[in-house]
Amino acid sequence: MPSTPPSPRLIDLLRGRDPVLVLTGAGVSRESGIATFRDAGGLWEGVDPAEVATPEAFQRDPARVWRFYDARRAQAADAEPNAAHRAIAAIEATGRPFLLATQNVDGLHERAGQRGMVRLHGTLWKVRCTTCGLVTEDRRVPLVPLPPLCACGGLLRPEVVWFGEVLPMDAFGRAERAAREARLCLVVGTSSLVEPAAGIPRTALEAGAHVVEINPERTPLSPFASECLTGPAGEILPELLLRAGIPMETAA
Ligand code: OAD
């Protein structure tokens, strides 16, 4: 249960037909057993992002970078979508104008039946050839050989966004447009520390949306959010849907 009850305005907005934008981060997959980046025991506690998540690291040691991503693929393949992923898909299934913008690369939103979504940081489940540029789906776990090679002989890289790289412009543009149009913006399981994704709720706030943060911890967004619901997304979101009369099982 949220420590502060949701506001009547939030429940009204959930019941209505106004456009909704949801922004998610690693915390939404926490209850599926996937480690976040910056919490205790998180991915960046034992690993320097500069060693595994930059173009320079890949140039230096592609096998090391691939071992990191191969382990993340194995973990994501073993995980199941949780109640938070399903609740977000159920909001979309009400048929209102809706967009999910996720920073996650694990594919769990898709497996929960999400349709209208943009991936701001790419996906673990595609690879791109650094020579010919071909992007292909690749679901092999584990990947052999490491680093994997394209049919053209070029080195394959994960189709994810690394530090120092620009976000896919079409995905970010759609998220920014949705932020300007949304009446309700749910910000779920992100530390709101990584730009430019962290700027999306600010755009929504400036455009007059009701911005709700769902997170067990406070973040730099918390003082500005219209309301903060403190706790795990897998508990808070289903409770919100129950109060708004949105059935969880409408999601595919
Ligand atoms: P972080 O690890 O920075 O933040 C995860 C957030 O989830 C924290 O604020 C936690 O308090 C919260 N959290 C933990 N458990 C939760 C739960 N059960 N329910 C809801 N929230 C929970 O992850 P992101 O914000 O996603 O980028 O990080 C953003 C980007 O930084 C990532 O996409 C990645 C990373 O470096 C790249 O790799 C480019």
- Indicate whether 230 and 187 sit together in one domain: yes
The domain that holds 147 is classified in CATH as 3.30.1600.10
Give the residue, by CA position, lying nearest to ligand 1 atom 33.
103
- Indicate whether 4 and 66 sit together in one domain: no
Residue list, ligand 1 pocket, CB within 6 Å: 25-27, 30-31, 36-39, 42, 49, 53, 103, 121, 161, 163, 189-191, 193-194, 214-217, 219, 232-233
Give the atom of ligand 1 at the shortest distance from the alpha carbon of 31.
18
- Indicate whether 154 and 240 sit together in one domain: no
- Indicate whether 2 and 114 sit together in one domain: yes
Give the atom of ligand 1 at the shortest distance from the alpha carbon of 39.
2
- Indicate whether 13 and 131 sit together in one domain: no
How far does the centroid of ligand 1 lie from the alpha carbon of residue 8, in Å?
Answer: 28
How far does the centroid of ligand 1 lie from the alpha carbon of residue 145, in Å?
Answer: 30
pLDDT on residue 250: 52
Point out the domain boundary residue: 160, 181, 210: 160
Point out the domain boundary residue: 132, 160, 188: 160
- Indicate whether 44 and 63 sit together in one domain: yes
- Active-site residue 85, yes or no? no
- Indicate whether 138 and 199 sit together in one domain: no
Amino acid at 195: E
- Indicate whether 55 and 128 sit together in one domain: yes
User: How confident is the prediction for the chain on average, in pLDDT?
Assistant: 95
Pairwise CA distance, residues 17 & 191, whole Å: 29
Instruction: List the helix and strand counts (H, then E) for the chain.
Output: 10, 9
| Statement: the pTM of the whole predicted model exceeds 0.85 | yes
- Indicate whether 88 and 16 sit together in one domain: yes
pLDDT on residue 65: 96
The domain that holds 237 is classified in CATH as 3.40.50.1220
Q: Is the pLDDT of residue 251 over 70?
A: no
Pairwise CA distance, residues 239 & 241, whole Å: 5
- Indicate whether 230 and 203 sit together in one domain: yes
Q: Domain range for residue 59?
A: 35-78+122-160
pLDDT digits over 11-56, tens only?
A: 999 999 999 999 999 999 999 999 999 988 888 888 898 899 999 9
- Indicate whether 234 and 140 sit together in one domain: no
**DSSP summary character for residue 47:** S
pLDDT digits over 50-109, tens only?
A: 899 999 999 999 999 999 999 999 999 999 999 999 999 999 999 999 999 999 999 999
Point out the domain boundary residue: 108, 142, 160: 160
- Indicate whether 126 and 156 sit together in one domain: yes
Domain count, the chain: 2
Beta-strand runs (E) in the chain: 20-24, 98-102, 117-119, 122-129, 135-137, 156-160, 184-188, 210-214, 227-229
